[in-house]
Copies of this chain bind each other. A is one copy, B any other.
Amino acid sequence: MAKAELTLGVERDLKMRVGIVTVSDRSSQGLREDTSGKLLNDLIKTIPADVVGYRTIPDEKNQIQATLISFVDDLRCDVVLTTGGTGMGPRDVTPEATSEVIEKEIPGISESLRREGFKQTPLAILSRGMAGVRKGCLIVNLPGSPQAVKEAFEILKPILTHTVELIQGRVTDCQKVRE
Contact = CB atoms under 8 A, between A and B. Distances in A.
B177 A123 contact: yes
Interface in A63-90: 87-90
A134 B126 CA distance: 15
Question: What size tier do the contact residues of chain A reach?
Answer: 35 or more
Q: Is the interface of A mostly helix, strand, loop or mixed?
A: helix
A163 B111 contact: no
B89 A126 contact: no
A51 interface: no
Nearest to A118: B112
B108 A177 contact: no
Given A87-B174, A108-B127, 12 more contacts: A88-B106, A88-B133, A88-B166, A89-B166, A106-B126, A107-B111, A108-B124, A109-B125, A111-B125, A123-B163, A123-B174, A126-B159
